[in-house]
Structure 1
Amino acid sequence: MNLKTRHTQLIKTEAKRLGFLSCGISKAQFLEEEAPRLEKWLNNNMHGEMHYMENHFDKRLDPTKLVEGSKSVISLLLNYYPEEKQNVNSFKISKYAYGTDYHFVIKDKLKSLLNFIQEEIGEVDGRAFVDSAPVLDKAWAAKSGLGWIGKNSNLLTQQVGSFYFIAELIVDIDLEYDLPTTDHCGTCTKCIDACPTQAITEPYVVDGSKCISYFTIELKENIPSEFKGQFDDWMFGCDVCQDVCPWNRFSKPHNEPLFNPNPELLSMSKKDWEEITEDVFMKIFKNSAVKRTKFSGLIGNIDFLKQEKP
């Protein structure tokens, strides 16, 4: 077995031991196909108020500009699909935010993986990324054979659907590279048909500025009144396009204790949410990604959901 093969197998075995669903590897190079797509998306203002998406255009498309000397992008998936869901008579939060903020959970796992690589392989420089820098996660995961980008612009896999986080280690060693998989969306348009705000404007294109996740998490101003009555009770994020995807019937519950929700979160009703205090908010979402929207933001979202259609 040559050194490259041995190193690649070592990394993939350790990734599995750390609890990652899967691990795929690509050559660190310019993302030629994604460049015009990203440019068009930005030119059409589909990023709304997310102005950070306009920054570091070159680095977003070329990891060698982001991490000096980089040769390989190691993409990893971590399952977050919960065993139990919220009370049906409740305002809803996206399943990814049920437990501890994924940034902390995954960063620790990535650090462990990088330390392992350095101990087993030798002097390897690299950086870990979880949503925290201009890296096109889904493009790299697809390039690494971990799935295909579906019509809802999420990474999909035949084995486990799409309820997982994507993260990367960009490293300065050559490894064996995986091949992309094929698209299995076929003629299905369930995600497009089900989107409450028609944010999926055409197959594979999501207008971020119309997405419920954008309105309830990213937007710092008031939600435009024309969307009243269209939010389907989502107060933080939205899972509609994933919930209706046929491939998600293969989702299996995660086994990461840190992603388990506070039991109170699952039992709360709409009335409980309407009366929530800041103390209860801080208790339920102690280490949660929901803190991004702050107590005031969540209350604003709930107030919006309580309003009737204009």
Structure 2
Amino acid sequence: MDLKAKYTQFIKSEAKRLGFLSCGISKAGFLEEEAPRLENWLKNNRNGQMAYMENHFDKRLNPTLLVDDAKSVVSLLLNYYPEKEQNPDSYKISKYAYGKDYHFVIKDKLKELLFSIQENIGEVSGRVFVDSAPVMDKAWAAKSGLGWIGKNSNLLTQKIGSFYFIAELIIDLDLEYDHAVTNHCGSCTACIDACPTQAIVAPYVVDGSKCISYFTIELKENIPHEMKGQFDDWAFGCDACQDVCPWNRFSKSHKEPLFNPNPEILSMSKKDWEEMTEETFRVVFKDSAVKRTKFQGLQRNISFLKK
């Protein structure tokens, strides 16, 4: 076995040991196919008030501008599908926010992976990324054969659907590269039909400025009045397009103890949400991604949902 193959095998087995669902590797370089798509998406203001999406356009498309002498993009998936879901008579939060904030959980695993590579392979430098820099994670994961981009613009896989996080390790080491897989959405339009705000404006095109996740997390001002009655009780994020995806019939619950929810999150009723104090918010969502919207933001979202 040559060194490239040996190193590749080592990285993939380490990723598995650390609990990642799968690992795919691509040659670092300019994302030619993505460039015009991203340009169009921004030109049509699909990013709403997410101005940061317009920054670092070149870096977003080319990881060699993020990491000196980058050779490989190692893409990793980490499952977050929960064993149990919220009380049905409740305001809803995205499943990814049930447990500890994924940024911390994944970053620790990625740092351990990089350390292990350096310890076993030698002088390898690189950076770890979890939503923390302008990296087009879904595009890299698809290029690395981990799944295909679905009509709801999420990465889909035949075996396990789409309830997982995507992260990257960009390193200056040549490895064996994987190939993209074929698209298996076919003529299905379940996600387009189910989107409560019609944010999937065309197959494979999501208008971020119409998405419930945008309104409940990213938008800092009041939610526009014309959206009233369209949120289907989502108070933080939205899983509507994933919940109806036929491939998510194959989702299996995660094995990451840090993603286990605070039992209170699952049992709370609408009344509990409406009467929540800032103190309770701090306790219940201590390490959760829900903290991103802050107590005031969550209050705004809930009062908007109240009939």
Query: If the length of structure 2 is used for normalisation, what is the TM-score?
Result: 1.00
For 1:148-159, what aligned pairs fall within 5 Å after superposition? 148-159=148-159
Is the partner of 2:119 in helix, strand or coil?
helix
Aligned to 2:237: 237
- Output the amino acid matched with 1:131: D
CA distance in 1, matches of 2:13, 2:67: 24
- TM-superposition CA deviations, 1:188-232 (whole Å, max 9, x none): 000000000000000000000000000000000111111100000
For residue 93 of structure 1, report the CA deviation from its aligned partner.
Answer: 0.2
Structure 2 counterpart of 1:266, one-letter code: L
Distance across 2 between alignment mates of 1:134 and 1:231 = 29
- C-alpha distance in 2, partners of 1:300/1:156? 32
Q: Report the CA distance between 1:112 and its aligned residue.
A: 0.3
Per the alignment, residue 212 of structure 1 pairs with: 212
Q: Take 2:263 and 2:169, find their aligned partners in 1: how far apart are those partners? A: 33
Percent identical: 79
Match of 1:55 in 2: 55
In structure 2, C-alpha distance between the alignment counterparts of 1:269 and 1:234, rounded to whole Å: 13
Q: What SS does the aligned partner of 2:166 have?
A: strand
State the partner residue of 1:165: 165
What does the per-residue CA deviation read over 1:70-104, in whole Å, with 9 as the maximum and x for residues that have no partner?
00000000000000100000000000000000000
State the alpha-carbon separation in 2 of the partners of residues 90 and 300 from structure 1. 16
The equivalent residue for 1:121 is 121
Number of the residue aligned with 1:13: 13
CA distance in 1, matches of 2:259, 2:170: 25
1:196: which partner in 2? 196
Which amino acid letter does the alignment assign opposite residue 153 of structure 2?
S
Task: Give the SS at the match of 1:222.
Answer: coil
Query: The residue matched to 1:64 in structure 2 has which SS?
Result: helix
Could you say what secondary structure the match of 1:183 adopts?
coil
Aligned residues: CA RMSD: 0.4
Secondary structure of 1:160's match?
coil
Task: Find the aligned partners of 2:164 and 2:199 in 1 and give their Cα distance.
Answer: 21
Give the corresponding residue for 2:273: 273
User: SS of the counterpart of 2:78?
Assistant: strand
Moved beyond 2 Å, runs of 4+: none
Q: Residue 77 of structure 1 aligns to a residue in which SS?
A: strand
Alpha-carbon distance in structure 1 between the residues aligned to 2:78 and 2:257:
13
The letter of the residue matching 1:267 is S
Quick one: distance in 1 between partners of 2:294 and 2:126? 33
Query: Are 2:297 and 1:300 aligned?
Result: no
> What is the distance in 2 between the residues matched to 1:54 and 1:67?
20
* Cα displacement (A) at 1:164: 0.1
Query: By how many angstroms is 1:141 displaced?
Result: 0.1
Once the two structures are overlaid, the 10-residue window that deviates more, 42-51 or 277-286, is 277-286
Alpha-carbon distance in structure 1 between the residues aligned to 2:71 and 2:196: 41
Post-superposition shift, 1:237?
0.1
Q: Which amino acid aligns with 1:128?
A: V
Give the letter for the 1:80 counterpart. Answer: Y
Once residues 206 and 105 of structure 1 are traced to their aligned partners in structure 2, the CA distance between those partners, rounded to angstroms, is 28
Could you say which residue in structure 1 is the equivalent of 2:176? Answer: 176
d(CA) in 1 for partners of 2:56, 2:264: 41
| Map 1:244-263 → 2, pairs under 5 A | 244-263=244-263
Q: Which runs of 5+ in 2 are unaligned?
A: none
Q: Secondary structure at the match of 2:16?
A: helix
Aligned to 1:136: 136
Distance 1:49 1:68 in 2: 31
Q: Aligned partners of 2:226, 2:277: CA distance in 1, in Å?
A: 29
SS of residue in 2 equivalent to 1:249: helix
Q: Is structure 2 residue 19 aligned with structure 1 residue 42?
A: no
1:26 aligned counterpart, secondary structure: strand
Q: Secondary structure at the match of 1:37?
A: helix
Provide the C-alpha distance between the structure 2 equivalents of 1:285 and 1:255, rounded to a whole number of angstroms.
21
2: CA distance, partners of 1:113 / 1:265: 31
Amino acid paired to 2:143: K
Q: Distance in 1 between matches of 2:17 and 2:105?
A: 15
Q: Deviations over 1:96-148 (max 9, x none)?
A: 00000000000000000000000110000000000010000000000000000
1:281 and 1:83 map into 2 onto residues whose CA distance is 23
Q: Which runs of 5+ in 1 are unaligned?
A: none
Partners of 2:299 and 2:256 in 1: CA distance: 29
**Distance in 2 between the 1:296 and 1:145 partners?**
41
CA distance, structure 2, for counterparts of residue 221 and residue 182 of structure 1: 41
Output the CA distance in 2 between the equivalents of 1:208 and 1:264.
30
